[in-house]
């Protein structure tokens, strides 16, 4: 999810429930996890010790401040189960003494001990019951909140310990709101009551707590404020009816109950089903569960797709008119390639007249040099034209990036600030000039011609054979036409002296966008030469060699686009990858499994209703 800049999965409550509650506890050998939870200095560890039957967790009148969790296991449990799998995210440590849970340690520690009823006073846990003490849910150390959340997420039953001072605390209520959303079974213990005076007040406090959190206690107990009894592990717990009634208020019992026995007599199957449904409901919650997470991905991907569309290379570096490659060079490479395909007498005649054409053109070229000076090599002129085009394109790219940055797209602004900072533009242009000067245009054109004409020969064998027949006919006709062309002035087209009808036809067929390759050539050559020399194939020839121009311009534009990646770095790829996330097979698999999960929950709800 980093690609979309979404919060990590670990920050989602539904994911924590999945990895801490569902995955570890959905095996064949199920068990019930009971956690004693509450705020600071409320006697939470005292309650835990009463469940354990001994001083398993440190207590003090000064608030001991439990920092790590402790778990009591049934005898032999650690041999049958992998504890790290049941409590992911915790570092498991054998329990040695009650003070261990008070130690400062950055790791999330969980101290474990198996109960042994042979020890005097120690509880004999049922085989399927685990009991935990937790860090304070309202500790000044935020890390303790995280540890308490981890315990809550893996628990089936919460023994919620409240006092007059803590029942309305904001952090405490926040913790229990999450428990209510998870559909936890809650035993509520209202501790440190002044009895019998508080019999009139605890219902008010509990009602406030339940309204604020959504908790509906399965059972409620009150315990007196008795330090000596708490330290002696002999604190009495009195069960009270909830919701209260006038009759229940008038007939309160003074007979203490055994909390561990109450837990041991829980209806295991019903509780497990209830908490399982609660956990699954969290997963499929439309807003806070997997559907909401998938919606976040779709929304984020759409935003990245829109940003990627803005930054598309085509839009940033649109080039209305790429310079045309010199026809002299292009025709030269075509003739060279074509000459390699000729055989026998045709090859001999063409080679002879090509040689004559070069000899005849030499005086013409000499006279021209005397009159107008040395001629600039065509590819040198083309290099200058292309560089000017590239500079204009780069300027447009940076102007466009600046404009996009100033729009204020929250995804693009910080990224574009980095791209546009400092002397990035001048450094890139300097790098680009070095790269451009190193381009071998002659080799580029040769490669293009060879590739295109080989494809032409492979994909259109009939037309290739037709070209061979035209070539043979032209070989016999070339002597007269060649001379006529030169002498009448029809031979020199542009700056090149062309000695053959075939070459003249090809030259006139090279229509692209340049004026010199368009009307000027056609006007000079005339329709009769094209018709006689190239016959009815001229339209196809024109299309093929127009494609050569287009293909070369495409190669050069691709080269510039590749170089622009230095400016953009991996930003376009990152945007594209993020935009494609909803189209990935994994995304579809999650959606499919979500629908299956929703069907499972519907069946569980029906079964639960039939049991009640």
In a domain, 166, yes or no: yes
Considering the domain architecture, whether residues 278 and 337 belong to the same structural domain is answered as no
pLDDT band at 171; cut points 50, 70, 90: very high
In a domain, 305, yes or no: no
User: What's the average model confidence in pLDDT over 188-200?
Assistant: 94
Per-residue model confidence (pLDDT) at position 160: 96
User: What's the average model confidence in pLDDT over 89-96?
Assistant: 93
Cβ atoms 132, 47 nearer than 8 A: no
Would the pLDDT of 357 be above 70?
no
Considering the domain architecture, whether residues 251 and 346 belong to the same structural domain is answered as no
pLDDT band at 267; cut points 50, 70, 90: confident
CA angle 251, 254, 260 (to 5 degrees): 115
User: What is the pTM (predicted TM-score) of this model?
Assistant: 0.62
User: By residue range, what is the domain housing residue 399?
Assistant: 314-352+363-492+555-573
Considering the domain architecture, whether residues 145 and 264 belong to the same structural domain is answered as yes
Considering the domain architecture, whether residues 410 and 447 belong to the same structural domain is answered as yes
Q: Which two tokens stand for residue 217?
A: 């206690």
Considering the domain architecture, whether residues 240 and 328 belong to the same structural domain is answered as no
3-state secondary structure 534-590: HHHHHHHHHHHHHHHHHHHHHHHHHHHHHHHHHHHCCHHHHHHHHHCHHHCHHHHHH
Considering the domain architecture, whether residues 258 and 324 belong to the same structural domain is answered as no
Q: Which two tokens stand for residue 303?
A: 């935003």
pLDDT band at 467; cut points 50, 70, 90: low
In a domain, 7, yes or no: no
In a domain, 225, yes or no: yes
Considering the domain architecture, whether residues 341 and 426 belong to the same structural domain is answered as yes
Considering the domain architecture, whether residues 245 and 318 belong to the same structural domain is answered as no
In a domain, 524, yes or no: no
Considering the domain architecture, whether residues 376 and 481 belong to the same structural domain is answered as yes
Residue 140 CB coordination number (10 Å): 9
Considering the domain architecture, whether residues 411 and 458 belong to the same structural domain is answered as yes
Would the pLDDT of 475 be above 60?
no
Would the pLDDT of 524 be above 60?
no
Helix ranges restricted to H, 155-250: 170-181, 202-213, 227-231, 246-250
CB burial string 497-511: b at 16+ within 10 A, e below: bbbbbbbbbbbbbbb
Considering the domain architecture, whether residues 409 and 267 belong to the same structural domain is answered as no
Task: Tell me the CATH number at 101.
Answer: 3.40.50.300
Q: pLDDT for 271-322, tens place per residue?
A: 887 888 888 888 889 998 999 999 999 998 888 888 777 766 546 666 677 7
Considering the domain architecture, whether residues 282 and 339 belong to the same structural domain is answered as no
Give dist(CA 409, CA 42) in Å, integer.
50
CA angle 427, 432, 438 (to 5 degrees): 135
In a domain, 294, yes or no: no
Would the pLDDT of 504 be above 60?
no
Q: Which two tokens stand for residue 87?
A: 């409590």
In a domain, 308, yes or no: no
Total structural domains within the chain = 2
In a domain, 187, yes or no: yes
User: What's the average model confidence in pLDDT over 393-403?
Assistant: 83
Per-residue model confidence (pLDDT) at position 414: 86
Give dist(CA 432, CA 416) in Å, integer.
20
pLDDT band at 542; cut points 50, 70, 90: low
């Amino acid at each position: 999810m980093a690609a979309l800049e979404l919060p990590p999965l670990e920050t989602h409550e539904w994911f924590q429930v999945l990895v801490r509650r569902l995955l570890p506890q959905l095996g064949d050998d199920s068990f019930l996890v009971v956690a004693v939870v509450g705020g600071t200095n409320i006697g939470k560890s005292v309650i835990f010790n009463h469940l354990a039957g001994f001083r398993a967790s440190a207590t003090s009148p000064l608030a001991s401040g439990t920092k790590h969790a402790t778990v009591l296991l049934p005898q032999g449990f650690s041999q049958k189960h992998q504890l790290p799998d049941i409590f992911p995210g915790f570092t498991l440590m054998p329990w040695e003494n009650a003070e261990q849970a008070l130690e400062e340690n950055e790791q999330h520690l969980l101290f474990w001990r198996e109960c042994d009823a042979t020890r005097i006073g120690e509880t004999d846990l049922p085989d399927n019951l685990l009991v935990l003490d937790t860090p304070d849910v309202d500790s000044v150390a935020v890390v303790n909140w995280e540890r308490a959340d981890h315990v809550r997420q893996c628990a089936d039953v919460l023994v919620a310990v409240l006092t007059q001072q803590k029942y309305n605390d904001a952090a405490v209520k926040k913790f229990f709101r999450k428990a209510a959303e998870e559909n936890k079974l809650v035993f509520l213990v209202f501790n440190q009551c002044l009895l019998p005076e508080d019999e009139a007040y605890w219902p008010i406090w509990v009602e406030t707590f339940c309204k604020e959190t959504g908790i509906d206690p399965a059972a409620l107990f009150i315990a007196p404020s008795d330090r000596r009894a708490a330290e002696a592990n002999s604190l009495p717990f009195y069960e009270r009816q909830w919701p209260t009634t006038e009759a229940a208020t008038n007939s309160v019992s003074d007979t203490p109950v055994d909390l561990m026995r109450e837990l041991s007599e829980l209806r295991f199957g019903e509780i497990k089903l209830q908490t399982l449904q609660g956990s699954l409901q969290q997963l499929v919650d439309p807003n806070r569960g997997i559907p909401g997470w998938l919606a976040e991905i779709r929304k984020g991907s759409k935003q990245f797709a829109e940003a990627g569309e803005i930054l598309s290379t085509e839009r940033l570096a649109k080039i209305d008119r790429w310079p045309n490659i010199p026809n002299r060079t292009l025709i030269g490479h075509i003739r060279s390639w074509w000459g390699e395909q000729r055989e026998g007498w045709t090859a001999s005649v063409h080679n002879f007249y090509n040689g004559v054409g070069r000899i005849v053109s030499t005086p013409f070229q000499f006279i021209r040099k005397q009159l107008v000076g040395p001629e600039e090599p065509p590819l040198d002129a083309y290099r200058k034209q292309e560089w000017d085009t590239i500079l204009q394109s780069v300027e447009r790219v940076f102007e466009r990036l600046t404009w996009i940055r100033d729009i204020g797209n929250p995804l693009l602004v910080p990224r574009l600030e980095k791209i546009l900072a400092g002397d990035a533009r001048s450094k890139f242009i300097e790098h680009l000039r070095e790269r451009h000067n190193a381009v071998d245009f002659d080799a580029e054109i040769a490669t293009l011609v060879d590739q295109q004409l080989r494809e032409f020969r492979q994909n259109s064998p009939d037309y290739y054979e037709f070209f061979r027949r035209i070539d043979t006919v032209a070989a016999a006709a070339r002597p007269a036409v060649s001379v006529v062309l030169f002498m009448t002035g029809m031979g020199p087209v542009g700056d090149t002296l062309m000695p053959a009808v075939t070459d003249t036809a090809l030259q006139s067929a090279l229509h692209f966008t340049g004026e010199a390759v368009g009307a000027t050539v056609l006007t000079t050559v005339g329709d009769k030469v094209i018709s006689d020399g190239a016959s009815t194939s001229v339209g196809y020839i024109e299309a093929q060699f127009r494609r050569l121009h287009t293909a070369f311009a495409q190669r050069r534009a691709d080269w510039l686009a590749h170089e622009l990646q230095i400016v953009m770095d991996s930003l376009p790829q990152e945007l594209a990858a993020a935009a494609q996330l909803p189209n990935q097979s994994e995304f579809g698999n999650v959606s499919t499994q979500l629908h299956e999960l929703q069907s499972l929950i519907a069946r569980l709800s029906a079964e639960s209703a039939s049991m009640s």
